[in-house]
């Protein structure tokens, strides 16, 4: 990456699209110059943040009893089409049909998701209900889909994936797991990454291909579009019937198994972190997630060698002590100017900056800046290490407060189609409207909405408690009786 890059040159509030592009490139999160559309290089700074997302997810699902496995990244063609609805992924897949200059006997696909890859093997693994439930997951793996429009961390032809695939003897066990998956979203996405969202039960026409029901946490990015950041699915017995996953039950008869799968969108979570927390200086990253939590910047003068040596010695001393305390610390002793260093680390979202110069040494204090605050603080030398803990908590609370404050004001209501169309054009966020049906009978209204509003989507009904519809309300589109209150937004 170029080292002479300037800071962000546009305001997030005025040109979010360009702002996002600049942050991704200038904060060295990804390099799009790989040369094949939709395939990006994950640069070290960005990938370090993504690794933390993976660590959080792995920790949570393993607490629930999931165990990691790893399947190949390819899928047999016949397995992609075994479950009728799931076969809808086929037009999006990349096919491998040649080896060298010779055609292969049976072409296969790069995995678009894990079901058709994993479930044929599940049919070989289980024979008795006593072997269930089985809770398994794959992490730090790619998936491949032939997306026509691509953007780093929002949509790509190769993107990072995390997925659980579970098998149960009884349906209630599967339903209980759905709730645990949503708790994982709370614990990781909301509490650790500080991303606010609403839970939706997807309309029937928009559920995962092959699922009985789909549930998603959706957030909003600053251009007003809805961003689905995870999904969990009740698969019923649809896939077990397609792939012959069955066990001998307590009654001595064979039973098809119930299944769930859960896919936190690692890329999408990263995109939400960039979009929601970032500001006009660049990234803002929660303390635990940042690749470098504390940067130490020396304030030295070339013509004052003795003073400069004292400053450098003190910086190294503080760096060593903080590192022993378990912090990720960087002493920036590069030849760049002090101002350049400030801007460089602010762009990358480093939470805490400590400045040490002759003035600080003489006063036995340090100058400290938080990424979420303007201005600087003076901290006495003896208080520094206790204050670091306090500052880290303060920074995380401020990030969370800003995100929640931004999110809570982004839902409006409409009871007429004209009002809905105006709001979708002018308002950046969700619009709550009365709607006829979230079964397939409502799809015609949803399709009309999408066509009339250049991409307005019915996101679904609130979950776990669906909102009640007042008597007399009519569907904003067809004017028939409204049976649901749904949330509508334009989407990525």
Same domain membership, residue 86 and residue 36: yes
Same domain membership, residue 417 and residue 389: no
Give the mean model confidence (pLDDT) for residues 478-492: 96
Please report whether residue 244 resides in a domain: yes
- pLDDT exceeds cutoff 60 at 187: yes
Please report whether residue 139 resides in a domain: yes
- pLDDT exceeds cutoff 90 at 6: no
Rounded to two decimals, the pTM is 0.95
Please report whether residue 287 resides in a domain: no
Among residues 250, 277, 304, the one where a domain terminates is 277
Provide the domain limits for residue 225: 16-277
Same domain membership, residue 197 and residue 138: yes
Please report whether residue 284 resides in a domain: no
Same domain membership, residue 310 and residue 252: no
Same domain membership, residue 92 and residue 155: yes
Same domain membership, residue 371 and residue 302: yes
Q: What is the CATH number of the domain that holds 454?
A: 3.30.110.30
Please report whether residue 1 resides in a domain: no
Considering its fold, how many domains does the chain have in total? 3
Same domain membership, residue 474 and residue 374: no
Same domain membership, residue 321 and residue 350: yes
Q: What is the CATH number of the domain that holds 185?
A: 3.30.930.10
Same domain membership, residue 382 and residue 239: no
Please report whether residue 5 resides in a domain: no
Q: What is the CATH number of the domain that holds 383?
A: 3.40.50.800
Among residues 340, 363, 394, the one where a domain terminates is 394
- Each residue's pLDDT tens digit, 24-82: 999 999 999 999 999 999 999 999 999 999 999 999 999 999 999 999 999 999 999 88
pLDDT of 409: 83
According to DSSP, the residues that pair with 264 across neighbouring strands are 230
Same domain membership, residue 377 and residue 254: no
- Each residue's pLDDT tens digit, 277-326: 999 999 999 999 999 999 999 998 777 778 889 999 999 999 999 999 99
Please report whether residue 349 resides in a domain: yes
pLDDT of 87: 72
Please report whether residue 200 resides in a domain: yes
Same domain membership, residue 421 and residue 386: no
Same domain membership, residue 331 and residue 266: no
Among residues 277, 301, 318, the one where a domain terminates is 277
- Each residue's pLDDT tens digit, 427-443: 889 999 999 999 999 99
């Amino acid at each position: 990456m170029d080292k002479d890059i300037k800071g962000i040159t546009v305001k997030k509030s005025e040109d979010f699209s360009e702002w996002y592009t600049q942050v991704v490139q200038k904060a060295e999160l990804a390099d799009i110059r790989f040369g094949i559309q939709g395939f990006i290089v994950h640069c070290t700074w960005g990938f370090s943040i993504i690794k933390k997302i993976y660590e959080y997810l792995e920790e949570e699902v393993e607490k629930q009893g999931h165990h990691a496995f790893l399947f190949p990244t390819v899928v047999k063609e016949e397995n992609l089409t075994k479950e009728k609805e799931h076969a809808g992924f086929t037009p999006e897949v990349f096919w491998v049909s040649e080896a060298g200059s010779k055609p292969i006997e049976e072409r296969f696909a790069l995995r678009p998701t894990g079901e058709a890859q994993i479930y044929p093997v599940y049919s070989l693994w289980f024979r008795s209900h006593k072997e269930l439930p089985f809770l398994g997951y794959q992490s730090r793996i790619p998936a491949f889909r032939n997306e026509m429009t691509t953007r780093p961390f929002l949509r790509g032809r190769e993107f990072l994936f995390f997925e659980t695939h579970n098998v149960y003897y009884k349906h209630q066990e599967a339903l209980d797991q759905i709730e645990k998956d949503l708790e994982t979203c709370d614990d990781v996405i909301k509490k650790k990454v500080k991303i606010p969202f609403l839970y939706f039960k997807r309309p029937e026409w928009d559920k995962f291909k092959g699922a009985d029901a789909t549930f998603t946490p959706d957030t909003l990015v600053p251009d007003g579009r809805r961003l689905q950041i995870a999904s969990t699915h009740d698969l019923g017995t649809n896939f077990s019937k397609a792939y012959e996953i069955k066990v001998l039950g307590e009654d001595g008869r064979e039973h098809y198994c119930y299944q769930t799968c859960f896919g936190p969108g690692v890329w999408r979570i990263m995109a939400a972190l960039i979009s929601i927390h970032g500001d006009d200086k660049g990234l803002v990253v929660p303390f635990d997630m940042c690749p470098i939590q504390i940067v130490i910047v020396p304030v030295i003068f070339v013509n004052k060698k003795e003073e400069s040596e004292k400053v450098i010695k003190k910086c190294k001393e503080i760096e060593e002590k903080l590192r022993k305390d378990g912090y990720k610390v960087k002493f920036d002793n590069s030849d760049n100017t002090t101002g350049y260093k400030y801007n460089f680390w602010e762009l990358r979202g480093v939470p805490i900056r400590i400045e040490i110069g002759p003035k600080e040494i003489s006063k036995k204090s340090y100058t400290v800046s938080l990424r979420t605050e303007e201005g600087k603080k003076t901290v006495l030398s003896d208080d520094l290490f206790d204050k670091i803990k306090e500052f880290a908590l303060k920074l995380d609370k401020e990030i969370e407060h800003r995100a929640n404050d931004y999110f809570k004001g982004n839902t409006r209501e409409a009871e007429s189609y004209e009002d809905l169309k105006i709001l979708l054009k002018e308002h950046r966020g969700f619009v709550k409207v009365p709607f006829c049906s979230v079964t397939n009978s409502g799809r015609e209204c949803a399709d009309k909405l999408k066509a009339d509003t250049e991409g307005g989507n019915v996101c679904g009904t609130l979950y776990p408690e669906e909102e009640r519809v007042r008597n007399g309300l009519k569907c904003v589109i067809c004017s028939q009786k409204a049976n649901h209150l749904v949330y509508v937004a334009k989407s990525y």
